[in-house]
Amino acid sequence: MKEVKEFDESKVGVKGLADSGITSIPRFFVHPPETISDLKKPSQACTTKSIPVIDLAHLKYSPLERQKLVAEIKEATATWGFFQVINHGVPVSVLDETINAIRAFHDQPQEVRAKHYKRQDSQGVMYATNNDLYRAKAATWHDSLAVWLSPEKVRAKEEEIPEICRKEVLAWESHATKVAEALFELLSEGLGVEAGRFKELGFLGGKALVGHCYPYCPRPDLTLGITSHTDSGLTVLLQNQVAGLQVKHGDEWVNVKPIPGALTINIGDSIQIISNDNYISVEHRVLANPCKEPRISIVMFFKVGNRGDSEYFGPLEELVSAEKPRLYRKFTVQDLQKNFYSKGLDSKSIIEQFKLPREA
């Protein structure tokens, strides 16, 4: 813990460690044998399978085409929990500008980045290595710039966002929100409820942008980029062409191959619960980066954010019947936050915590 504290207070981040030319990694980044042995398996990632790719161009066409699109997304979220979208309406120039701006932030001299380094989680702007550095069993090889965007009480002031990426962060919020809004409508229709249902539940009310940098790691066999975990709501991911993201499908880890111009979408635990398991939230992780080129990913998280702390959520009543009983107890936004901030990133703990016991 003393070494962790010293590293954190130095504000160099893993980017600083990588830039210094180190050939080994500090011991608090080394993961336990069970994780490392999983990484060393020759068949650790399935190369013959890939997550579905969905063409959103069909949104512009007839109701029949929309129906097909709803069915495609329903199938992808029910079996994979992950998919990539193409023809989503965001110009390639905007995607490139956003990636370049986040990379430019992480490429600044260490003393410039250090001005933003702090652990003020869940509001404003935070730049740090691992938001769960003091809660996790082992650290992972990435730095992150997090910008909270809604609800209003936690939103970063414009001047707080680093100038080098300010314009692009605010533009990306607008573009990613439009994509998320369209997807929430399709997900609602896939459940057989009105298109605006997820929006009514407040899923566009909690937004945060996180710009990750996964720099070169000299020992990718001993650590991870991000440990295996699930998300909370809906995630819209923009990434450069450096691979590393893996999705768990059954018992296999499947590589997510970056597609130029595509966005990667995944379903989080609260959506699995609200859908009463019609949609699934799956574990995913990022391998430590063995390339000299950094992996850059910009994640937009959309989750319930503008409802009262004591307001309850659970499976939609329309999805509960004698044939398909309620699988989860009700929960509050506060329950979700308490679960997330009480420990390091982990796998499916929210799902397990809220699951009702099966009747004998």
pLDDT per position as a tens digit, 287-324: 999 999 999 999 999 998 765 556 788 999 999 999 99
Predicted local distance difference test score (pLDDT) of residue 304: 86
What's this model's pTM, rounded to 2 decimal places? 0.94
Backbone phi, psi, residue 45, to 5°: -130, 135
Predicted local distance difference test score (pLDDT) of residue 78: 98
Predicted local distance difference test score (pLDDT) of residue 360: 42
Cα(259)–Cα(343) distance, rounded to whole angstroms?
A: 33
Cα(88)–Cα(75) distance, rounded to whole angstroms?
A: 19
Please enumerate in sequence order all residues whose Cβ is within 8 A of that of 358, keeping only pairs 6 or more positions apart, or say none: none
Cα(127)–Cα(266) distance, rounded to whole angstroms?
A: 24
Compute the Cα dihedral for 22, 26, 27, 29 and give only its sign.
negative
Predicted local distance difference test score (pLDDT) of residue 340: 57
How large is the greatest C-alpha to C-alpha distance in the chain, in angstroms?
62
Q: What is the DSSP letter of 12?
A: -
Give the angle 262-199-64 at the CA atoms, nearest 5°.
Answer: 60
Q: What is the DSSP letter of 77?
A: H
Contact 237, 259 (CB under 8 A): no
H helix intervals, the chain:
2-10, 13-19, 33-40, 63-79, 92-107, 110-114, 166-190, 197-200, 269-274, 333-341, 349-354
Predicted local distance difference test score (pLDDT) of residue 44: 56
The pair of three-digit structure tokens given for residue 286, joined into one six-digit string: 């990022």
Predicted local distance difference test score (pLDDT) of residue 277: 97
CA distances from 342 to 42, 207, 320, 358 (A): 34, 20, 31, 27
Closest of 57, 91, 53 to residue 261, by C-alpha: 91
Query: pLDDT below 50 — which residues of the chain?
Result: 42-43, 343, 360
Predicted local distance difference test score (pLDDT) of residue 342: 52
Rounded (to 5) percent helix, strand, coil in the chain: 35, 20, 40
Residue with tokens 């390639």: 92
Sheet containing 245-249: order of strands: 45-46, 252-255, 245-249, 284-287, 224-229
Cα(248)–Cα(251) distance, rounded to whole angstroms?
A: 7
Q: pLDDT digits over 194-233, tens only?
A: 999 999 999 999 999 999 999 999 999 999 999 999 999 9
